[in-house]
Copies of this chain bind each other. A is one copy, B any other.
Amino acid sequence: MPGTAASRQFPCQTCEVRDKVICAALDDEELRHLSAIATAVELKAEGVVFHEGDDSTYLFNVVTGSLRLSKLLPDGRRQITGFLFPGDFLGLSIADVYAYSAEAMTETSLCRFSRANLTKMLERFPKLEHRLLDLASNELAQAQDHLMILGRKTAIERLLTILLKLAERVGQRDSNGMTIELPMSRTDLADYLGLTTETVSRTITRLRNEGAVKTPNWRTICIPKGVELALRTGD
């Protein structure tokens, strides 16, 4: 019965990522408490969430859009440690400063919690802490795959690996195969893959020439059906 106190909707109930991130661990009643400490944050493309070394005051759910996480060496060399999409969690860290920077690649909306408030919620709802541990384990497994990419794969293998991964996260499947709208620049790809933009560009050209991908424009990459299958089963 809409309008009664018991059934009144609160923002989280209708959130796109209600059943993802940390919210998935809670029922509607519990979520109401989480909702009370959450703040919506909107970012334009290239907007900064936080910088490496900032006090880690907040944690975030990614609701819409896309982010890149990166670390810098003193001389400016950059390593992107991850790309984030709706349903990802941002800010897991025991340290009191962020170990990396987080920037929006496209228009992005986040759900923000103060560390202090979230810590209280964790004490109240152990399920929430359990969920965070799951998320952390996942991130760890992803990081290990990323280590394999950077340490032991060739340029072409690196590209194919991330294309397949992006296909899973942001790919649109149709009868011809998979279409990926890249939210990131060639430089971002390069800094994720441990390559230069030139090598990324040349490698994409090579994949196109070999018929492994089509590139209607530079943000869009299509992987034909047959190719995708061949790649997933290991060439």
Contacts and interface: CB of A to CB of B under 8 A. Distances in A.
A77 interface: yes
A152 B79 contact: yes
Interface of A: 71, 73-74, 77-79, 81, 92-95, 99-100, 122-123, 126, 129-130, 132-134, 136-141, 143-148, 150-153, 191-194, 234
Contacts of A99: 141, 144
Given A73-B152, A77-B153, A78-B152, 11 more contacts: A71-B145, A73-B148, A81-B144, A93-B137, A126-B129, A129-B133, A133-B136, A139-B140, A147-B147, A147-B150, A151-B193
B194 A151 contact: yes
A71 B144 contact: yes
Contacts of A140: 92-93, 136, 139-140, 143
A77 B152 contact: yes
Nearest to A92: B137
The main secondary structure of chain A at its interface with chain B is helix
A52 to B, nearest CB: 10
21 contacts: A71-B148, A73-B152, A78-B152, A79-B151, A92-B137, A94-B134, A94-B137, A95-B137, A95-B141, A122-B130, A123-B126, A126-B129, A129-B129, A136-B137, A136-B140, A143-B143, A143-B144, A143-B147, A150-B150, A151-B193, A151-B194
Q: Which 7 pairs across A and B sit closest by C-beta, in order of nearness? A: A151-B194, A150-B150, A143-B143, A136-B136, A94-B137, A79-B151, A77-B152
Contacts of A81: 144, 147-148
Given A129-B126, A136-B140, A147 B94 contact: no
Contacts of A74: 234
Given A126-B129, A138-B94, A150 B71 contact: no
A77 to B, nearest CB: 4
A74 B152 CA distance: 12
A93 B141 contact: yes
A128 B141 CA distance: 21
Among A77, A132, A143, the most chain B Cβ lie within 10 Å of the Cβ of A143
A73 B153 CA distance: 9
Contacts of A93: 137, 140-141
